[in-house]
Amino acid sequence: MLRRLFSNRRGFMQSALAVPGIGLGAQTATAQRKRRTANRDVLAELGVQPFLNAAGTYTRLTASQMPQSVLDAMQVAATQYVDLNELHEKAGDRIAELLECEAALVTAGCASALTLGTAACVAGSSVDRIRRLPDTVGMKNEVVLQKSHRNGYDHAIRNCGVRLVEVDSARDLESAINERTAMLFFLNHAERDGAIGHEEFVRVGKQRGVPTLNDAAADIPPADNLFRFTKMGYDLVAFSGGKGLRGPQSAGLLIGRRDLIEAARLNNSPHSDSVGRTNKVNKEEVVGMLVALEEFLARDHDKVWKEWEQSCKRIARTVANLPGVSTEMFTPEIANAAPHLRIRWDYGGAQLTAEQAAEELRQGEPAIEVRPRFSEGLEIAVWMLAAGDDRVVGRRVRSVLAAALRRAA
């Protein structure tokens, strides 16, 4: 897919038509066409090993692939110059309309959305303050969150020079809020891990006049989550663009209150003297994000869900008749909430752990990456596989398990 991004097929077709037939045999033309349309495969040139993605939307594994329509729109945008601020504003307005919220900003991933949302709450739209971040002297510079909502991505919040204040209970939350409190942060997938749920969290924020930000990076599907949290009353909600939405991997969304989104924009690239200048998003990603979102919203989600289930079942059938092997479908309750397949085996003397099976899949041909979680068996994500690759994954898993069985015999 990516190969087409920089190809210029139309340009070639035009020049090919202009070539007079004299002296150009069919073979020569074909050979020439091959030469001129063959795009470089830089990954192959570098010897970087591609693999089938049965892992899911992991950034380290490059997460997701964009539909062709998104790549096409990015390619068109790539050949034109525009005013980036104008594009940000107009795309943001369109996204806000689609998501039925006040305002939206395309960011450089969800982590960037966390930085920009925090910067908006700390520095607002004041040019002087925007320039001073991450020096927050004299500004509201505390962000309150539940202890169980601490996670690696909160570094993106800390980049703004704020101090994270951890609380456990709703009473703690109330008493932690003071005149220095800039924002209340919620980690969507950790809702069950903390004592304070969405409604109470949002209510406290509103009562105390402190903006709330919900990080729902990997929590699409369900599609409804794109609307749910702003409607619930969160002032800001952040999503990854390159996970379930299948937009550009280096894009994300910050949506919510108009004044805060406007401030986030001012704290962002292309404004040079801002904390977000390191989070550059160019026109291709802005356009790609918008088109990916449109595609996603127009999708028949039930149909796609059934296809994912079919893929799981196909892989399950491929390995099911091996002795000692059992399979089950499961859907994570939150974060990457799509159907997955879990495969377990009991081979008695055979020394094959799920981790070793994963390593064999990684080393095989074609290489396959599975979910990097092995405590309950081998876990396969099907939702980022290209059409037909579920069969390849099924065959490869079967051959790895069958080989271990033979070794045990």
Ligand X SMILES: *Cc1c(COP(=O)(O)O)cnc(C)c1O
With binding defined as CB under 6 A, does residue 110 bind ligand X? yes
Instruction: Let me know: does 184 contact 142? Beta carbons within 8 Å.
Output: no
Q: Which is nearer to ligand X, 124 or 252 (CB)?
A: 252
Q: Is 59 in the site for ligand X (CB under 6 A)?
A: yes
* CA within 13 Å, CB half, 46: 6
Based on CB atoms, which residue is closest to ligand X, 266 or 289? 289
Q: Are 256 and 228 in contact (CB under 8 A)?
A: no
Distance from C-alpha of 173 to C-alpha of 202, rounded to nearest angstrom = 12
Q: By beta-carbon distance, which residue lies closest to ligand X?
A: 109
- Least distance (Å) from ligand X to the CB of residue 165? 19
Q: End-to-end distance of the chain based on CA atoms, in angstroms? A: 44
Q: Residue 191 CB, nearest distance to ligand X (Å)? A: 12
- Answer yes or no whether residue 106 interacts with ligand X by CB under 6 A: no
Peptide bond before residue 221 is cis, with ω within 30 degrees of 0: yes
153 touches ligand X (CB under 6 A): yes
Is residue 158 a contact point for ligand X (CB under 6 A)?
no
Closest approach of ligand X to the CB of residue 142, in Å: 20
Question: Does residue 154 interact with ligand X by CB under 6 A?
Answer: no
Residues 275-334 that bind ligand X (CB under 6 A): none
Q: 160: closest CA among 188, 125, 130?
A: 130
Residue ranges with strand state E in 55-211:
103-107, 142-146, 163-167, 181-187
Q: Which stretch binds ligand X (CB under 6 A): 84-92, 195-203, 211-219, 390-398?
A: 211-219
Q: Kindly tell me which residue out of 103, 162, 182, 218 binds ligand X, with binding defined by CB under 6 A.
A: 218
Using CB under 6 A as the binding criterion, the count of chain residues that bind ligand X stands at 10
The single residue listed with the structure tokens 């210029």 is 8
Q: How far is the CB of 149 from ligand X (least distance, A)?
A: 10
The CA-based dihedral angle spanning residues 307, 313, 317, 320, taken in that order and rounded to the nearest 10 degrees: 160
Q: What is the 8-class DSSP label of residue 47?
A: T
How far apart are CB 251 and ligand X at their closest, in Å?
Answer: 8
Pick between residue 215 and residue 285 the one whose CB is nearest to ligand X: 215
Minimum Å gap between C-beta 86 and ligand X is: 24
- Number of neighbours of residue 10 by Cβ within 10 angstroms: 8
Is 104 a binding residue for ligand X by CB under 6 A? The answer is no
Kindly tell me which of 72 and 191 has the beta carbon lying closer to ligand X. Answer: 191
Q: Does 157 bind ligand X (CB under 6 A)?
A: no
Half-sphere exposure of 376 (CA within 13 A, CB side): 10
